[in-house]
Amino acid sequence: MKTIAVLTSGGDAPGMNAAIRSVVRTACENNMRVLGIRRGFNGLMAGDMYEMNIRSVSDIIHRGGTILYSARSARFNSEEGLKDAIDVCKANSIEGIVVIGGDGSFRGARDLSLRGIPCVGVPGTIDNDIACSDYTIGYDTALNTIMDMVDRIRDTTESHDRCSVIEVMGRRAGYLALNSGIAVGATTILIPEVEFNVERDVIERMRRTQKTGKKHFIIMVAEGVAEAMNSQGICGVNELAKLIEARTGVETRATVLGHVQRGGSPSVKDRVAASQMGYAATLLLKEGKGNRVIAMRKEEIVDYDIYEALNMQKSVDLGLLKTALEISI
């Protein structure tokens, strides 16, 4: 390929800039022209792009967010949207695209590949919910951000003998809640992958630990459990906090960590993974290969067919949840 493009799509994640840097530099080193598309598939449909060179990506490896901006595009899912995107690729001689994002973005990459524009996906999302990959860019930084934030909340929770209910992101997955939950010593961790009962798994657990003299509590809740909580008559973490206070007598506050989890300078792990994945994706395009997704399996960088990748399943480590619950008493 002589000309490739790169875009970031979906929720931004720390490390996306390191991935862009890697794509651009690898392309330049391999004598390919590289275009940076702004605002994901929206920018592709609109032809919003610019030519990048090795210096366009200087001083970005440590920056959160994405210099190419990001978006979720509903229109791209339509035939008209795809047609516009393909016309733009043809007009700009784009022969392949590196798509950095989550599984929604990979579906877009698959649709483009199917219509003759080879794409390679790079997993970038704080949620770590890409089935084919053990790891997604941004996950480690988000975990560390959550841990730092909850450590702060813990200071005030402890000072007031309170309980703090903390909701973390993750969409329909519990990886962020589970791994940060064990790291902060949460009394209970509620994740969508594991059935729970608030009375048994929150209230009774707290009562049991109260008897051992514990006076402050962290309850970690994945945003993806909203439906399961609703079915138990609890609408959101504020209601959960009220219920805990009423049933245990422990003053309780709820905190929704929100978008603070998506920002910040990427960790070492995210910078390294992003650099490796961006490199591998660009080399695949150089070889003329498309319709692939880069993944990390047992610390190795591998790639899969997008169809295969989108049909894979991944599960949380139930042993980790068991460990967390057994030692957080």
Catalytic residues: 127
CB of 138 to ligand F6P, least distance (A): 8
Nearer to ligand F6P, 14 or 96 (CB): 14
Question: What count of other Cβ atoms lies within 10 Å of the Cβ of residue 297?
Answer: 12
Closest approach of ligand F6P to the CB of residue 102, in Å? 6
Which of 172, 203, 184, 313 shows the shortest CA–CA distance to 255?
184
**Sign of the dihedral defined by the CA atoms of residues 17, 21, 24, 27, in that order:** negative
Considering the complex, state which of residue 163 and residue 189 has its C-beta at the smaller distance from ligand F6P.
Answer: 189
CB 157 within 8 A of CB 217: yes
Name residues whose C-beta falls within 8 Å of residue 204's C-beta, 6 or more positions apart in sequence: none
Q: Which residue's CB is nearer to ligand F6P, number 102 or number 290?
A: 102
Min dist CB 176 to ligand F6P, Å, is 7
Q: Which residues contact 50 (CB under 8 A, 6 or more apart)?
A: 35, 36, 38
Would you say 9 or 188 has its CB closer to ligand F6P?
9
Instruction: List the structure tokens of 73.
Output: 């595009």
**What's the one-letter identity of residue 152?**
R
**Residue the block writes with tokens 């509620």:** 190
C-alpha angle 79-84-87 in degrees, rounded to nearest 5: 125
Is-contact 47 92, C-beta < 8 A? yes
Measured from the CB of residue 10, what is the shortest distance to ligand F6P in angstroms? 6
CB atoms within 10 A of CB 155: 9
Smallest distance, Å, CB 172 to ligand F6P? 8
Question: Where is 195: in which H helix or E strand?
Answer: none
Which residue lies nearer to ligand F6P by CB, 134 or 251? 134
What letter represents residue 167's amino acid? E
Instruction: Tell me which residues touch ligand F6P (CB under 6 A).
Output: 11, 102, 125-127, 169-171, 223, 262
Per DSSP, the chain holds a count of helices (H) and strands (E) of 13, 11
Shortest Cβ 261–ligand F6P spacing (Å): 7
Which pair of tokens denotes residue 167? 């909701």
At closest approach, how far in Å is the CB of 299 from ligand F6P? 24
CB-based burial label for 130 (10 Å; 0-12, 13-18, 19+): buried
Judged by beta carbon, residue 86 or residue 165, the one nearer ligand F6P is: 165
How many residues appear in the chain? 329
Residue (160 or 171) nearer to ligand F6P, CB: 171
